[in-house]
Amino acid sequence: MTTSVKKQFDERCEAFSRSASWVTSPKLLTAHRRALKGLVPRRALMLEICCGTGEVSGALKRAGLETYGLDLSPGMLKKAAAHIRNLRRGDAHKLPYPAAFFHAVVMRQAMQFLRPAAFLKEARRVLKPGGTLLLSHHVPQTPAEHARLLKIYRLIQPSGIFNDPAKLYLAADLARHIRAAGFKIKRKITLHTTESITALLKCYPNLAHRQKRRILNEYLAAPPAFRETCRIAQKKDGLCASWKWIIFAAVKGL
């Protein structure tokens, strides 16, 4: 799976920051700043894992903060250089950093590609005592939405990760994994963004036009309860849906 994930993000890197509203959403990035506020010292070392184009680090940067980024994709790392000073290509399950090195570890929208226990063990290892894990993810709002999105994401995602239904995490699933890894959740922020599904699909060059049409139809033909919960609507930039986000700020014990 590592090879297929690297390949798809290398293919998507050029358009990634423009392809999905959530990547650069001011509302979502502001919520990340709010979640981290007061939890790290002024002159801190911060690592963004699965950093992609580095937008979260860009939003969290401030005077005295030293930013580090790690990703599998060389293409994404080239884009992340605009926001992150120290970049390395590597695996989130085997972080190439010493123990107790960072004041904060950040990750957004990547848990589905990882083994949660292995990743969180490594994140905890590289954090200083009292250090903060900032983890955010798009999550289904209801069981019905989970079932429908699982069907849709199996059509979209080329790596096949959603063959395992557990990879479409609910907020409670993420909280359970965080606590099981030895973190104490200090803050939990929930918010909604509006996502253009039409724009998102353009970012997957491997999808044929017929496949994209099928995916859009899965939204359009969804039961009324799903359409209402997700606020499915046709707008000038295409088919749009509401996404629920959860942001956890959790602290490593002393």
Here the tokens at position 113 are: 């590609």
Report the C-alpha gap between 95 and 119 in whole angstroms. Answer: 9
CB 181 within 8 A of CB 120: yes
Please, what sign has the CA dihedral across residues 227, 235, 212, 192?
A: negative
How would you classify the pairing of strands 45-49 and 66-71? parallel
Say what the alpha-carbon torsion angle 136, 76, 115, 171 is, to the nearest 10 degrees: 20
The tokens for 65 are 């903060």
Per-residue pLDDT in tens (0 to 9) along the chain, 254 residues: 677 788 888 888 887 888 788 899 999 999 999 999 999 998 999 999 999 999 999 999 988 899 999 999 999 999 999 999 999 999 999 999 999 999 999 999 999 999 999 999 999 999 999 999 999 999 999 888 999 999 999 998 888 899 999 999 999 999 999 999 999 999 999 999 999 999 888 888 778 889 999 999 999 999 998 999 999 999 887 899 999 999 999 999 87
The pair of structure tokens assigned to 119 is 């990743």
d(CA 136, CA 28): 10
CB-neighbour burial class of residue 63 (10 A; exposed 0-12, middle 13-18, buried 19+): exposed
Are the beta carbons of 10 and 182 closer than 8 angstroms?
A: no
Q: Residues for the chain: how many in total? A: 254
Query: How far apart (Å, rounded) are the C-alpha atoms in residues 192 and 187?
Result: 17
β-pair type (233-235, 86-89): unpaired
Let me know if domain 2-139+159-192+244-252 sits in CATH 3.40.630.10. no
* Cα–Cα dist 30/53, whole Å: 17
Q: Cα separation of 251 and 178, whole Å? A: 10
Domain boundaries, the chain: 2-139+159-192+244-252
Q: What is the pLDDT of residues 176-209, one digit of tens each?
A: 999 999 999 999 999 999 999 998 888 887 788 8
Q: Could you tell me where the beta strands, DSSP code E, fall in the chain? A: 45-49, 66-71, 86-89, 102-108, 127-139, 183-196, 233-235, 238-252
Residue 203 CA to chain centroid, in angstroms?
A: 16
The predicted model scores a pTM of: 0.94
With 0-12 CB in 10 A as exposed, 13-18 as middle and 19+ as buried, what is 33? middle
